Chains A and B, each alone.
Chain A
Amino acid sequence: MSTNKGRRSQAVILATLLLFLAAACRSSDETETSAGTTTPGATTAPGDTTAGETTAPSAAGPVGQGVTDTEIKIGMSIPLSGPLAVSGALSKGVAAVFNQVNAEGGIDGRQIKFVVLDDAYDPSRAASNQRQLAEQEKVFASFQFGAPALATRDYMETRKVAQFAFAGNVPLSDTDAYQYTRSLWPDVRLEMGLVTQHILKEDPDAKVGILGLNNDFTSSVIEGVEAGLGDKKDQLVAIEKYEPGAPELSGQVNKLRAAGVTALATTLQGPSAKAVEYIRQIGWEVPIYNYSNSTSKLAFLDLIPASAATGVRQARWFRDPADPALKDDAGMKEYREIIAEFGDGANPDDALVINGFGLGQAVLVALQNMAEPTPEALIESWDNLPPTPSPALPKGVEFKPVLGGRVVSSYEIVEWDGTTWKSLEPVKDAIGEGFID
């Protein structure tokens, strides 16, 4: 049995630790504490914590949190570790944009301070990170990667902090319910709709199969394919899912083949690219359209033998910097120069870097065009973004507001011919096609 002294010692240890923690936090907490800012006796809005979104107006008008005369603070929560760690490259692209504008004087003389936190694609950590960014770092706006944005947007809404999500999930298009969250990546239904259209163009009786991760994103993919099929919905004959840890997908592939699939829409990435190799090796010549954000040369094609990579297709909205055909492209050259100078070691051939770079540029334009430095004004500026060109986008395409709060809706269908991405269908704006009602 433990003794009085044992218990007391433990109590002392615990007390000491807690006091240390308190002391550490108090010294870094320069603003008011929570008890000081609530109106006595008031019941606040559901889930509302401290109202830190607008401090006292300065002479020039209201100013959001995270904005001082010299600085504007922006945060990001993204997987830097774990199975989706490759996504971390997005943050480097965004950082390069911010570094460049800082070198040129910042936004209205304010330098951007960019704080990036790792969430390992765990929604619970993402929630914790956004809290930390909003409450401790007091950021003005924040980025969030992937589906965890669905978990964080309620909080961001009540906290009134602008959130930009790198996610194509359909629910994120709901800008009526969520005023403060906007998605950067296009609604995947558009992409899948165009893919399906192309499939039907080549073979009106095609039987479509889907192979994707077992997550919400695949549900969005299915919606898109069905939208593209229209009244031919029964031509979607098979849907196979897999878990991230699966060593190989021969079971799913053979099932798809046995179901009579003649065209495949897939969301493979990284290690699961091997499935393409297997498909070709068993002699199945089915056309494969893989999700654009995962189908770059560096992160996808290079993982499989060249013979298997040839023929892989995608409906893409941004360009692949590793594509040899773009070597002399003026926009690409400019992009590479910026990354070399401001990219902090990022690999310019990584398509996710240019992805983050391009969207970072779009967000920057929104920041520069804000009527006043508040989150509401930022969102409004975003919703009214002027057409913004970018080396990330195909020629002639610009970032501009499309429905769902997003800024991209144009895709080009391309196929890898062994050395470069060959265009099968010119750039088309998917909005006019009626995939989303």
Chain B
Amino acid sequence: MTRRRMAIGLLGAVAFSLTFLLDDYTLFQLSRVICIGIAVIGLNLLTGHAGLISAGQGAIFGLGAYTTVVLMYHLDLPYPLAVLSSTLLCLVFGLLLGLPALRIKGIPLVLVTLSLTILFPPVVKRFDSLTGGNNGLGITQPQAPFRLDLVVPQWLYILDLAVLGLVLLVMGNLLRSRYGRALSALRTSEPLALSVGVAVRRTKIVTFGISAALAGLGGGLYLLLIAFATADTFGFALSLGMIFAVVVGGVRSWTGSLLGAAFVVFVPDYTAPLGDRGPQLVYAVALLLTVYLFPTGLAGIGQMLVNRFRPAGRDRSGQGGEGGAGIDGDPLSPAALPGSAEDQPAVRPPSAVGTAEREGVS
């Protein structure tokens, strides 16, 4: 057992044990963070790893939630099937979305995805016989299976945690595969990637698909949690919030995605004293701080703090764990060329530009 595996196992055990330590409401909040976190991980893949900025993740999340609620409400589908169907439907949707996205990127892509986001709530409301229109649709929350002695919030938390674990596992393997390398080549420079034989188009489409699938999965699970779907919940603000979560949490860091999701979920609740638009101000300030001072986001800050307590001699400043630095040390920039081996010894300071092999860059 490597130390890493032990650490992850420990973490998982701690997270699981919280089921019995925390009260229902806190479990509910944590579950919310996980559901949104899964979608943010998807967006992180798309935007952080592939460099395709999407303002539509919230709408796809909503699509997942609505698919689940519609299947459960109208067809009495059991919830695991409903959530799975949402994931698949959104996967297909993402693949389809990837097709036109082949031709556009950057700001135009932002605008196209933004359009979809803004149109989502009114379109959903239109199909009111299906979606409940303005009133929305509700279902009863699933009970724990096998007569386990668990109340609903506990069961849902465990479920969400398990799914999250699975997602992280899959994502980790994905990034280590050929697809992962194609992704980082793509982010660096498209012409370059093409020239070395990377299947750019396919990589992009697949990324859109996976990202959307994760949003659909998160959305379906979220629906189980809040048990009621209303169109306005899945609008512009949510998509914007997910972009914020990716950036503030830390690009290309899964830990960051979860931290970012927590940030976005909890900030509104805790900034009430700051006044009516307090949350917005906090988001704005956090975003600016991230861009100017802490490009590796919350995950990066955490990493820096951990490094403080590390034995001297190992200078790893600027590294964001999985995040890694870009060409000029800025994680939000295109990546430097990928290193050839997994474990690298000491590292060049982040300001050096060039072909130096860098640890932590995927």
List residues of chain A with CB under 8 Å of any chain B CB. 1-4, 6-15, 17-19, 21-22, 25-26, 29, 33-35, 38, 40-41, 43-44, 46-50, 80-82, 85, 88, 117-118, 120-125, 127-128, 131-132, 135-136, 147-148, 150-151, 154-155, 171, 214-217, 219, 243
Contacts and interface: CB of A to CB of B under 8 A. Distances in A.
A46 B134 contact: no
B300 to A, nearest CB: 11
Contacts of B18: 18, 22
A124 B226 contact: yes
Given A33-B22, A44-B151, A243-B122, 15 more contacts: A1-B360, A1-B362, A12-B306, A15-B15, A18-B15, A34-B23, A46-B141, A46-B143, A48-B151, A81-B275, A117-B272, A118-B272, A118-B276, A121-B232, A150-B135
B339 interface: yes
Contacts of A85: 276
A3 B360 contact: yes
Interface of B: 2-4, 7-8, 10-11, 14-15, 18, 20-30, 32, 122, 125, 133-136, 138, 140-141, 143, 147, 149-154, 176, 226-228, 230, 232-233, 237, 253, 255, 258-259, 268-269, 272, 275-280, 299, 302-303, 305-307, 319, 321-322, 324, 339, 341-344, 359-362
Contacts of B141: 46-47
Nearest to A26: B21
A25 B266 CA distance: 14
Contacts of A123: 136, 228, 230, 232-233
Contact of B2 (A4, A10, A46): A4
A333 B15 CA distance: 58
B138 A151 contact: yes
A34 B151 contact: yes
A201 to B, nearest CB: 31
A219 B362 contact: no
A41 B149 contact: yes
Nearest to B32: A128
A389 B222 CA distance: 45
Main secondary structure of the interface of B (DSSP, over half): helix
Instruction: Sort A-B residue pairs by CB-CB distance and give the 3 closest, nearest first.
Output: A216-B134, A46-B140, A6-B321
Contact of B149 (A15, A38, A47): A38
Nearest to A44: B151
Contact of A135 (B11, B24, B255, B324): B24
Contacts of B135: 147, 150, 171, 216
B143 A43 contact: yes
Contacts, number: 199
Contacts of B277: 81
B321 A1 contact: no
Contacts of A9: 302-303, 306-307, 321
Contacts of B14: 15, 18-19
B153 A151 contact: no
Contacts of A125: 268
Contacts of B233: 122-124
9 contacts: A6-B321, A25-B23, A35-B154, A48-B151, A49-B152, A123-B136, A123-B230, A127-B226, A219-B133
B342 A1 contact: yes
Main secondary structure of the interface of A (DSSP, over half): helix
Given A35-B149, A118-B268, A171-B135, A6 B24 contact: no
A10 B299 contact: yes
B25 A132 contact: yes
Contacts of B133: 216, 219
Nearest to A137: B25
Nearest to B138: A154
A59 to B, nearest CB: 28
Contacts of B344: 3
Contact of B21 (A15, A22, A82, A127): A22
Nearest to A151: B228
B22 to A, nearest CB: 5
B322 A13 contact: no
A136 B32 CA distance: 16
A9 B20 CA distance: 26
Nearest to B144: A43
Contacts of A136: 23, 25
Nearest to B14: A15
Contact of B28 (A7, A17, A131, A217): A131
A250 to B, nearest CB: 20
Given A4-B2, A4-B3, A125-B268, A38 B321 contact: no
A40 to B, nearest CB: 5
Contacts of B147: 41, 43
Nearest to B342: A1
Nearest to A220: B134
A38 B28 CA distance: 17
